[in-house]
Structure 1
Amino acid sequence: MKDKMLLELLSEKEFKKILEEALSRGGDFAEIYLEHRIKTEIFLEEDKLKNVSYGVLFGAGVRVNSGEKTGYAFSDEISLEKVKRASQVASHIANSNKKLNPLPLKTEKVKPYFTLESPVSLMGDDEKINYLKRANQAARDYHRKIEQVKVEWYDEAKNIAIINSEGKKISDTQHLIRMAIFPLAIDGSKKFEGYATSGGKVNISYFDKYPPEKTGIEAARQAVEMLSAADTPAGSLPVVVGNGWGGVLIHEAFGHSLEGDGIRKRTSLMASQLNQKVASEVVTVIDDATIPYGRGSFNIDDEGTLGQNKVLVKNGILQGYLYDKLNAKLMKTNSTGNGRRESYRHYPIPRMTNTYIKKGETDPEDIIKSVKNGVYAKKLGGGSVDHTTGNFNFLIREAYLIEDGKVTQPVKGAVLIGNGLEAVKKIELVGNDLRIDPTTGTCGKDGQSVFAGVGQPTVKFTEMTVGGTKIKKV
């Protein structure tokens, strides 16, 4: 189904009836969100195809805003009867004698920031499975110590449409794929599972430049390399975080503090910091929904607002926040195109898109050379963050010691511990090797998950607490 076909499922007259019903109790704003999504998941393990599954999401959500309150209901069927019933439920959030009439609808054309002529998500299953097999074989062939390999594939083709009481009628199509590879290296009692990903919102030609073999080899290299890892020394040390996925630290421990709901409610420590210094002067942070092929990229957000490129922090000074329509209205400003939702079963909230630290001027080799004794976090793993305080801990999936300005011994069990709002003030050097990871990033908030991109150049923190496994002699 094409995005424009969603707008043809109901007539303009029927959309008007639904919006009128939604506003019948006096709401300030009403919106209909339509979605059709097809997703495919494929799993390969032990050289065997383990599972191929398909899923379809198809339905409509109706939202009514009344002051700070939101009423929301959804239907798994798009028909006048069912969607109108959802609008009746959502309308109960309002209780006012003042009745707002929806404006006449006007279809808006979307000028895409980038175009996918042949999205990978529309390939046949045999081609997708072939990519998994190629990645699997490349990982196995890398080294005799690779004994097990898992490969996972996910893709989706999503069409959305937004119709609201302000007269907006707009639609868009979004495609995304991700392939993840997990080779297990074993050497006696030592085991380590490598990890690498590929994909994004990309064309089939993507795999000409980034063949599955490349991803398989990278994951296997990491697994074999880390078998020889020593215990990590603990303490407060200079830390260099590698480019690309390393930006997840800024996303989680700093970016969430700039989202409009926390700013409006003043639950974020950043609410009173506008135009003040919040980071080192070498740090500029950007949230950009318009990056071609980015995991968090889109032409319009889930409220129909055009995707935007926003400078959040410039040379350490806080420039602005991330808003959806509701929080922007309550703060007497405009949406920044950050109203996002997991599906039609959820109402939109302010979320990041592709958030990253801007390219700096320092050669990454010079950043390493500047460290006498420290830790190089080449690849970060999972972690946890308290978004109200910014306190975090992140496992380093691939870590090395830095000794006398050189990357030396791989180390295991390393964990970065700190506070995001303080950590960004300790960034001393920013590399010139910016990379925005288009392959990995699913952000959770308020029970909703959305795809998000993260990125950064190589970055040096003057100090950070490193949790380690090396026992100090007393």
Structure 2
Amino acid sequence: MSSAFAPTPSARANTIFHQQFGVTDRLIERCLAAALERGGDFAELFFESTASNGISVDEGIVKSASQGHSMGCGVRVLNGERTGYSYTDELTEEKMLHAARTAALIADSATSGADVQGFSVAKTHDLYPAATTDVEIAQKLQLVQRADRAARAYDPRITQVRATFNDEVRHILVVASDGTYASDVQPLSRFSVGVIAKDAAGDGGKGASASGTSGGGGRRGFDWYTTERTPEHYAREAARQAILQLTAQPAPAGEMPVVLGPGWPGVLIHEAVGHGLEADFNRKKQSAFAGLMGQRVGTAKVTVADNGIMPNRRGSLNVDDEGVPTANNVLIEKGMLCRYMSDKLSAKLMGARSTGSGRRESYASIPMPRMTNTYMLAGEDDPADILRSVQKGIYAVNFSGGSVDITNGKFVFAANEAYLIEDGKVTAPVKGAMLIGDGATALTRVSMVGHDLALDEGVGTCGKKGQGVPVCVGAPTVKLDHMTVGGTGR
């Protein structure tokens, strides 16, 4: 193996790793050489430093306040389909070289290692401001206390309130043997409110209780929560949901038309369709969409994208965690499957290019194909016409959770805000509605798509193989001609 570590002056990024932690070009060169000393097709160093803060109020009392900092470097070596990975939380020469040699040992090969390519700085986007976590804790406390007061003022039946504010700034630097040299500073914040409502006279005199949650955020600074989305906005929404559920009737069961509301219901697309379009599941033939590239998988009304370049959105990234600039990837276009989301490994093994979808939870994690901001694109139908087209069905506005089997796309989602549709009109709220089906079949039942595309407020965290990453979901109003609804009513 020969070294070609000769980055341009601009490539010697003035990152936090150079400034504060003493990571030099020479040390990076030595670590890549050590990672490839036992052979391998590719080696990568992923540096990460994250400063985070959090504060929560429960029942009007400060329940927790935290401040943390994590730092480390992950070393990955690829040899065909084999991956060697090791990491250290100490950015010293000794520890980094040890991690590099450990990763090399795992991916041991009889062949000589690949050459390190000449480096150039990746051309990245500029999707979010360089926010900080330095706002005084007293100002953050005021935010969560305002949410507590607003939720309680909404209705006397609100009996419990919990409000939380978290923010972080993540610095990354990715250097790899294929010439990758990319850095980014990624702010992230989130406000959350959860409430419980109780009605002593409800449920036939037995007493009824219900919960509601709301929140939002993204790659935004503190000012967003004082000017655009205030604590009162989130608090009132959480309280509204809880009070609504106190009077909801049991959801009916059976096959019926289902209308999904705009925004957060796009989580169904994320879970039931999006995961199935991640390249690793498809190259391993583990997805219900494996082998269907170029084929029809939904009606002509269905276009689905994973868009990592939306300014300030929770799932957006200037570069992914492999140093590849993110993109707006159309996955399904007018019902035809046209792209999988790929990281570098899956792209190489499938003879394709990375779509900028390589993501990892931290420096201690291996990257894999992941979603960013995933949504169904707007259609041309009037949402009011969509509702009028249903004689008897369910209008699902919000979901509290669900589960999906990637191998067959089968899903079960719990709607925590849903209504009956009767004679084309939205009528009584219902509780306990479960939507049951599979992603591939659901796409073939989409008959109307509204022009009212909306993305969620910015609360999503996607889990995969034990790793969680921030994401965003969205959808317009969507009609599925029939779907199995689980419920206890008639």
TM-score, with length taken from structure 1: 0.96
What's the CA shift string for 1:127-153, capped at 9, x where partnerless? 111111111111111111111111122
Q: What is the CA–CA distance in structure 2 between the aligned matches of 1:356 and 1:39, rounded to whole Å?
A: 29
Q: What is the CA–CA distance in structure 1 between the aligned matches of 2:91 and 2:248, rounded to whole Å?
A: 55
Structure-2 residue corresponding to 1:460: 479
Q: 1:138 aligns with which of 130, 147, 150?
A: 150
Q: 1:6 aligns with which of 14, 17, 20?
A: 17
What's the CA shift string for 1:339-379, capped at 9, x where partnerless? 00010001100111110000111121221111111011111
3-state DSSP class of the match of 1:90?
helix
Q: CA deviation at 1:190?
A: 0.5
- Within 5 A, what are the aligned runs for 1:157-172? 157-172=169-184
Q: 1:237 aligns with which of 253, 256, 265?
A: 256
What's the CA shift string for 1:71-116, capped at 9, x where partnerless? 000001111111110000000112123232312333445341x231
| Contact map agreement 1:186 1:192 (CA 8 A) in 2 | yes
Runs of 5+ consecutive residues of structure 1 not aligned to the other structure: none
The answer as to 2:219 corresponding to 1:201 is yes
Structure-1 residue corresponding to 2:139: 127
The answer as to 2:286 corresponding to 1:270 is no
The one-letter amino acid of 1:182's match is: G
| Contact map agreement 1:293 1:438 (CA 8 A) in 2 | no
Structure-2 residue corresponding to 1:303: 322
The one-letter amino acid of 1:203's match is: G
Q: 1:320 aligns with which of 339, 342, 359?
A: 339
The answer as to 2:92 corresponding to 1:79 is yes
Structure-1 residue corresponding to 2:45: 32
| 1:159–1:424 Cα change, 3 Å | same
Q: CA deviation at 1:380?
A: 1.0
The one-letter amino acid of 1:104's match is: G
The one-letter amino acid of 1:74's match is: Y
| 1:122–1:290 Cα change, 3 Å | farther
| 1:89–1:241 Cα change, 3 Å | same
| Contact map agreement 1:3 1:173 (CA 8 A) in 2 | no
Q: CA deviation at 1:269?
A: 2.5
The one-letter amino acid of 1:164's match is: A
The one-letter amino acid of 1:180's match is: S
- Tell me the matched-pair count: 468
Q: What is the CA–CA distance in structure 2 between the aligned matches of 1:381 and 1:99, rounded to whole Å?
A: 49
The one-letter amino acid of 2:313's match is: G
| Contact map agreement 1:279 1:317 (CA 8 A) in 2 | yes
Structure-1 residue corresponding to 2:6: none
The one-letter amino acid of 2:444's match is: K
- Within 5 A, what are the aligned runs for 1:321-470? 321-470=340-489
Q: 1:101 aligns with which of 90, 115, 122?
A: 115
| 1:280–1:162 Cα change, 3 Å | same
What's the CA shift string for 1:28-83, capped at 9, x where partnerless? 00000000001222111111111101222100000000000100000011111111
Q: CA deviation at 1:121?
A: 4.0
Q: CA deviation at 1:236?
A: 0.6
Q: CA deviation at 1:3?
A: 7.5
| Contact map agreement 2:37 2:112 (CA 8 A) in 1 | no
Q: What is the CA–CA distance in structure 1 between the aligned matches of 2:414 and 2:196, rounded to whole Å?
A: 18
Q: What is the CA–CA distance in structure 2 between the aligned matches of 1:42 and 1:26, rounded to whole Å?
A: 47
| 1:100–1:297 Cα change, 3 Å | same
Q: CA deviation at 1:438?
A: 4.3
Q: What is the CA–CA distance in structure 2 between the aligned matches of 1:375 and 1:434, rounded to whole Å?
A: 19
Identity of aligned residues (%): 44
| Contact map agreement 1:294 1:437 (CA 8 A) in 2 | no
Q: What is the CA–CA distance in structure 2 between the aligned matches of 1:6 and 1:442, rounded to whole Å?
A: 27
Structure-2 residue corresponding to 1:185: 197
Structure-2 residue corresponding to 1:44: 57
Runs of 5+ consecutive residues of structure 2 not aligned to the other structure: 1-12, 201-206
Deviates more, 1:73-82 or 1:360-369: 360-369
Q: CA deviation at 1:292?
A: 1.0
| Contact map agreement 2:123 2:325 (CA 8 A) in 1 | no
RMSD of the alignment, in Å? 1.5
